[in-house]
Amino acid sequence: MTIDSPEFVLPHLSFVDAQLHASQARRAAHHREQPGVPTALERGLAGLCVAQCAQATIEWARWAFVTTRAPLPGWTEPARRHRIVVPWRHLGRVARAVGRPAVGISDLHATFLNDLDAWQQLIDYNSDDAEEYLRGRLIAVRLIDGRHCVTRALGADLATTVVVHTGQLFDWAATATGLTTPPRLNPARHSHQGAGQHDAARADRDAATWMRAISA
């Protein structure tokens, strides 16, 4: 079997949408903490915007993985109907088909894909199983404690982490198959000037710390 580049597609536009929503979450989080936002209502609205942007980041990131296509039986359908990690475990077959060494998805990447599935199950269906799974994961990395609901974690740090890990997984897939990795947006062009840029950089550092924690 041979695979021409148009047949195996990494979804650039969906990943760009995920990055834009993560950037909006960082801006809203920065705005919420400014001294010039004094009222509880304004802070509440900014907090709601952060949560909505974080949720949208998760949804677009998951859609990016769902819409990745390859000419292999069952590549896309299991992703839509079941779990996105299922077709991604077959990436080694794609690599072999283009004459590259077979690769296997790491446990870290597989866990991240399962996390996205769980978030989608919680967001779309209010799944109790997904909530309990995410509670354990989020407590382990100290994004929430036992007193807080899972959705409390829907913030700028989580949105940034989703984008960072999505980019890493697409980089890995691109290296394995020889395809072009999806583009990265320039954080400085999608955040406030001055303090906003510093806030985005801090969020990126926090995301890297969280990534190390979940891979330990």
Kindly state the DSSP code that residue 188 receives in the 8-state scheme: G
pLDDT range class, residue 22, cuts 50, 70, 90: very high
Residue of 49 and 11 predicted with greater confidence: 49
The pLDDT score that the predictor gives to residue 100 is 86
- Helix 12-32 / helix 156-177 crossing angle, nearest 10 deg: 160
Tokens (6 digits) for 200: 């985005």
pLDDT at position 215 is: 41
Reported as a pLDDT band with limits 50, 70 and 90, residue 200 is very low
| pLDDT for the residue numbered 76 | 57
Per-residue pLDDT at 83: 74
Distance CA 62, CA 66 (A): 6
Question: d(Cα 83, Cα 87) in Å, to the nearest integer?
Answer: 8
**Domain ranges, ordered by start, for the chain:** 5-215
Would the pLDDT of 216 be above 50?
A: no
Q: How many residues does the chain have?
A: 216
Sign of the CA dihedral 122, 125, 130, 132?
Answer: positive
pLDDT reported for residue 110 = 93
For residues 191 and 200, is the Cβ–Cβ distance under 8 A?
A: yes
Backbone angles phi, psi at 9, to 5 degrees: -120, 125
What is the rounded distance in angstroms from the CA atom of residue 33 to the CA atom of residue 106?
A: 37
Cα end-to-end distance, the chain, whole Å:
38
126-155 pLDDT, tens digit per residue, is 999 999 999 999 998 888 888 889 999 999
What average pLDDT does the structure give for the chain?
77
Residue 159 has pLDDT above 60, yes or no: yes
User: Is the distance from CB of 161 to CB of 137 less than 8 angstroms?
Assistant: no
